[in-house]
Amino acid sequence: MNQGVTFISDGGDTVRDLQFYISPQSEHLLDWFHITMRITVMRQLAKGLPGNLPTEIFCDVDHKLERIKWFLWHGNTFKAMQSFITDLEILEDFLQTPATTKLLKLVCEFEGYISVNQSFIPNFGDRYRHGEIISTSFVESTVNQVISKRFVKKQQMRWTGEGAHLLLQIRIQVLNEDWRNTFSRWYPNMSASDPNNDLAA
């Protein structure tokens, strides 16, 4: 219960409550992957702003979003929140189009997201330089490429929910280097130290 654990999540209250329940003394960080994903969507939307808007409006919004990303990368939530205010002021002057209205909505939602989670935003740049994990993107990629693909209805060898759960349990055992001992408990006659029994292969 007192082991130091660092959780990285998308900032959802339900997930974080579970993390606190599992490890009360744990450290909680916001996932950089989810921050950049939201900023990327907003920047893409900004590129699609109507052509009749002044060019400097698009450039200013894109520049502000990039600055917000830079501030968040360095854990400077105060500066990031200040940039949100100027972003909103710029967009509120151009609400006559659906595109600007949608972008304004996303910026407002992102501002609330950062405001609620600002105490869980570290200096990502410093963590990255010291080789510490800042994102769960590798997990997201694995889920999409391995698990999700196997649940597609057109897949010939489609997994069941139970089968996927059991496979993940085995994978966790292997990653934790517990699989050999677990297998030996199931089959006592098989020595866990026998070099010929490469159970993790």
Write down the mean pLDDT value for the chain.
Answer: 77
* Per-residue confidence band for 75, with pLDDT thresholds at 50, 70 and 90: very high
Q: Helix 98-117 and helix 77-92: axis angle, to 10°? A: 160
| Structural domain includes residue 171 | yes
Looking at the fold, whether 144 and 130 belong to one and the same domain comes out as no
pLDDT tens sequence across 49-65 = 665 555 555 667 778 88
User: 77, 69, 71: which is closest to 33 by C-alpha?
Assistant: 69
Same domain, residue pair 146 and 75: no
Query: 200: pLDDT confidence band, cut at 50, 70 and 90?
Result: very low
Displacement of CA 77 from its chain's centroid (Å): 18
Residue 56's pLDDT is: 58
Q: Which residue has the higher pLDDT, 80 or 168?
A: 80
User: Strand, helix or coil at 133?
Assistant: coil
What percent of the chain is modeled with pLDDT above 90? 16
88, 181: one domain:
no
As for how many domains the chain has, the answer is 2
The rounded percent of the chain whose pLDDT value lies above 70 is: 70
Q: Identify the domain containing residue 2 by its residue range.
A: 1-134
Sequence-separated (6 or more) residues with CB below 8 Å from residue 39? 65, 68, 69, 110
**Which tens digit of pLDDT belongs to each residue from 187-197?**
887 654 555 55
Residue 39 in this model has a pLDDT that exceeds 80: yes
48, pLDDT greater than 90: no
Q: Which of the pair, 90 or 57, is modelled with greater confidence?
A: 90
- Are residue 12 and residue 47 in the same domain, yes or no? yes
State pLDDT tens for residues 149-163. Answer: 666 655 566 667 787
pLDDT at 3: 67
pLDDT at 55: 56
Give domain status of residue 193, yes or no. no
Class of residue 68 by CB neighbours under 10 A (exposed 0-12, middle 13-18, buried 19+): buried
In a domain, residue 75? The reply is: yes
To 5 degrees, how large is the angle CA 96–CA 108–CA 95?
5
